[in-house]
Amino acid sequence: MSIIAHTMQYTGGEMPSPSIALRRYLDTDYPIYREVYNDCFADMRRALGLHPVNCCDGRDILAEKSENIFILEVDNKLAGSVAIYGNEIDDLIVARQYQRKGYGQGLLRFAVARMQRVGISPIMLHVADWNRGAIELYTKNGFRIIKTETV
């Protein structure tokens, strides 16, 4: 099974900070974060024949990465998350009940604005071609495909 993956780079202008408030990941977030993360990637992993379907990092690994993971809460519930590692945006997830409400765009814009504030450039992300909704979101928000690979 081959997977088509795109590397995308931000080519837009200065991104204003979105009006959403995020906080850093805490160890107490793990059970619900794991559930949302696995749910967000399960359909794609099944369609692409990737195993295991549930692929969230373990609690210890996420604790080590916690300073780079940002959580969005809506009504005191984990609605989504985004991670920033160096110059890469990763693991942008939105719980199903909060999808198609602008939260994914808010998380993406938060990450870009945060990276710009500290002078990180270029801003990159990776996305599977299967995930057309994500590609559309990224393209609408200033990202362009700069490389495509089959893995």
Check residue 2 and give its pLDDT. 83
Check residue 49 and give its pLDDT. 87
- Kindly give the parts of the chain with pLDDT less than 50: none
Query: For residue 69, what are the β-bridge partners?
Result: 83
Mark residue 42 as left, alpha or beta (left: phi above 0; alpha: psi -120 to 50; beta: remaining): alpha
CA distance 63 to 57: 10
Distances in Å between the alpha carbon of 124 and those of 19, 31, 146? 22, 28, 10
Tokens of 44: 């794609």
State the sign of the Cα–Cα–Cα–Cα dihedral 110, 83, 53, 146.
positive
Tokens of 25: 């990941």
Which burial class, exposed, middle or buried, applies to 44 when counting CB atoms under 10 A from its CB (0-12, 13-18, 19+)?
middle
CA distance 131 to 126: 11
Contact (CB, 8 A) for 68 and 12: no
